[in-house]
Structure formats: C-alpha cells, structure tokens
Structure 1
Amino acid sequence: MIRVVIAEDQKLLREALTSLLSLEDDIEVVGVAADGQSAWEAIQQHEPDVCLLDIEIPVLTGLEIAKKLRALRCSSKIMIVTTYARPGFLQQAMDLKVEGYLLKDEPIDFLIESIRKVMAGERVISMDLAAALFLKEENPLTERETDVLRMAQEGLTTKEIAKSLFLTDGTVRNYLSLAIQKLEVETRQQATEKAHERGWI
C-alpha cells in the first residue's frame, strides 16, 4: 500500500484528490493539510511513502517542506504539484532532487501512474515542464538580496527588515537597490513581482 500525505490549500482540489486517490486499491491517503505547517506535522506523524505538495501553500511552501525533508534525509518521496511552469521553481525542485514535478491540469490518471512510478524509483516531470528546464534563467540575486526581497514581498518595511536581519536601514536599502538594478526594474514592488514570477523568491 502506498501511503500518501496531500498538502493543498484549495479545498475543492484537496477533497477531489483525496477522494480519487482513495479509490485506488494500492493507495491510501493517510494525511491531508491545507497549509505547510499542518502538512509538516502530518508528514512527521504518518511518515508517508509519498508527499504530494503544492508549491504555494501558506506558512511553509511545498519547496520549503521539501528542503526540510531532504535535510532530515527522510525516505518519503517528494512530488510537487503546481499551477506554475516557472523555470525558477522547477530548478529549485530539481536541485532538491524531488521525485515528481507535475502541473495541476494533468489528468488524474497521469498523477496516479506518476505516484506508482515514483515508488518504483523513477522520476516524473510533466511534459510541459521539461521544456522549461531548457529555458533556465540564472538567478542574479545573492542569498541576502533574496531574503530582503522576500520580506519586502511580505509587506515588511525597510526598518522591519533591518531589525529582523540585524542590519542597518541603509544596508537594507542597498540590498534593495542592488536587487532592483539586477532585475532591471524601477521599484521595489516591480522587483518582488519579477523575482516571484521567476520563482526566485
């Protein structure tokens, strides 16, 4: 029996996936979560064979959960399910060596077969995403610039970012200015939007 935990914040899709996977004789849904923290707790509790993770779930993203699982050398297979064919997200997932990366508009039969393939030791990527690997765009941002932009995206002020990262206001402004230049945009908001669109934050 393949034991699965599903992390998906859209209620309708979460319930549909749970129902459809539960119809399979060899698949059991042992945990369901609407946000990353609940998903992490369910994974720790159930130790599933497969973690089916949406990328943009609240609290902890699917990629952040994948990082935690890899850091702990957890044996669970990781399958990312997403609406987005963004090269940045795909590259992060590939760097984490996730076993599956699928688009949400794939047929349910493809998802079910992918779960079985992953359990058999294969890696599965949606065909539409395979092309994105060849369009890989290098992330020009440093780790610190990425941190600052991520916090700016969350709505934090320069002062709040500085306090959180133990930096001066001027240093944070410098990081933001560098990020804006590297991303070839004009404002902080444009920088966060472009970095998010590319999957870099």
Structure 2
Amino acid sequence: MSLLVVITDDHPVVRSGYKRLLSLESDIEVITEFDNGEDTYNWFQDHAADVLIMDISMPGVGGLETLKRLRAKKINTKIIMLSMHDNPTLIQQALDFGANGFLSKSSEPDELINAISYVMNDEVVISKDLQGLLGANDGALHEQLSAREFGILLKLAEGVSAKDIAAQFHLSPKTIYNYQTQIYKKLAIENGAQLTQYAIQNKLLKSN
C-alpha cells in the first residue's frame, strides 16, 4: 500500500519538482498539494495523509504556525519541514512544535526520499548540512517570540507592510501593530531598520 503524501509550498515550480521526484517511487503517492498553510490546515480537518511536506516560509499563515495548529488538533501525520533558512532557531522551533523532520531545500533529492522512510519509522530527521547548527543560537532574543510573532517578524524584516501582513494573517492592522510593538520590546530594538538588521545578523531572512 502506498504512503499518502501532501505537499505544501507557495512556489508552483517547487511543488511540481517534489511531486515529480516522489512519483518515481512506487510506494509513494502525492494525493494533493497546497500553496498556503491555511488551506493545508483546513484540508486536514476532514482528510488524512501519512506525510506532510511543508515549506516553513509562506505568505499568510506560515509553516511553523500551521505545524503548531495541526499538532494542537492532534493531527498525527508525519510532518517534514522544508526551508531555505539555515537558522538553528527555526529548526529548534519546528522540532519543539512537533515536526518529525527538517530539511534544507538544497538537500539532495534522495535525502527527501530517505527522510520519508525515516519519519515513518518514528525517527527524527535533520538535513546533514543543518545538523551542526542545533544549539548554535542558544540565548538569541528571538527565541522568546511566539510562532505568530516570529512569523510577523519575518514579514516585517522582508519589508512587507503591516496592512499586507494583516491581510495575509486575517488580522486587523491594529493587531499587527500591537504584535510589532511586542516584537520590538522583546528584541530590544526601536524601529524597522534595526529589525531588518537584526534579522540579517541572525540569518533569519531567505538567501537570494
């Protein structure tokens, strides 16, 4: 019987690539795909899959918050997070929220295939090139942020306006400004320029 897999990534080319890769495996079937966390979360309320492969950074509800919400609903699907970030805080947060694996998007194709096999055997998988990062950011200020705050931090650091963030997260602009105030306080910064500088220094932004 085939393993049922769901793919969530906001880039169609990435989804297509993973789907094509997994289609080469006789015991794996990609049953659906999504480009955002909200639709992924909603789908799992009425459906089931063996493995969810999900990007950590997406517009709107990101991968971390979707992961947290799925686990809060006792969704036991094995979840492998994908990321362009090489930041230890992201890895640790994903594991803390219940991820079964964390892979770099630069990983070799067979690493994803192997990861699916490992997580189905209740093993935790981290990309070889990321394993040495765990513990590297111990004590970083952004570790105290909630998943929602961290997601908003990333959007602000990328230059997304509070109005657009509010639309993506289905919140009011006032709520986003309140989150922004709390983020500034927790990171001991005073403005957007300092926030962007902090994100760059701590390797929180995607590499181009």
TM-score normalized by the length of structure 2: 0.76
Q: What is the match of residue 93 of structure 1?
A: 94
On the 8 A contact 2:84/2:106 being kept in 1, the answer is yes
Give the C-alpha shift of residue 187 in structure 1: 3.3
Give the C-alpha shift of residue 148 in structure 1: 9.9
Structure 1 residues 85, 29: closer, same or farther in 2, change over 3 A?
same
Provide the aligned C-alpha RMSD in A. Answer: 3.2
- Matching residue's letter, 1:103: S
Q: What is the match of residue 13 of structure 1?
A: 14
Give the C-alpha shift of residue 176 in structure 1: 6.4
Partner secondary structure for residue 58 of structure 1:
coil
On the 8 A contact 2:55/2:82 being kept in 1, the answer is yes
Q: What is the match of residue 193 of structure 2?
A: 189
Give the C-alpha shift of residue 11 in structure 1: 1.3
Partner secondary structure for residue 60 of structure 1:
coil
CA distance in 2, matches of 1:47, 1:59: 23
Structure 1 residues 62, 163: closer, same or farther in 2, change over 3 A?
closer
Structure 1: which 5+ residue stretches go unaligned? none
Q: What is the match of residue 156 of structure 1?
A: 162
CA distance in 2, matches of 1:53, 1:34: 9
Q: What is the match of residue 178 of structure 1?
A: 185
Structure 1 residues 193, 120: closer, same or farther in 2, change over 3 A?
same
Structure 1 residues 165, 16: closer, same or farther in 2, change over 3 A?
closer
TM-score normalized by the length of structure 1: 0.79
Name the larger-Rg structure.
1
Cα deviation 1:82-104 (Å, max 9, x = unaligned):
11111121121121131110011
1:38-187 to 2 correspondences below 5 Å:
38-140=39-141, 143=145, 147=149, 150=152, 153=156, 154-156=160-162, 163-164=174-175, 175=182, 178-179=185-186, 182=188, 187=191
Q: What is the match of residue 28 of structure 1?
A: 29
Cα deviation 1:91-144 (Å, max 9, x = unaligned):
211211311100111111110111011111111101221111030232425558
Identity within the alignment, %? 30
Cα deviation 1:2-36 (Å, max 9, x = unaligned):
11110011111111111221221111101101112
Bigger share in helix: 1
Give the C-alpha shift of residue 41 in structure 1: 2.8
- Matching residue's letter, 1:155: S
Partner secondary structure for residue 4 of structure 2:
strand
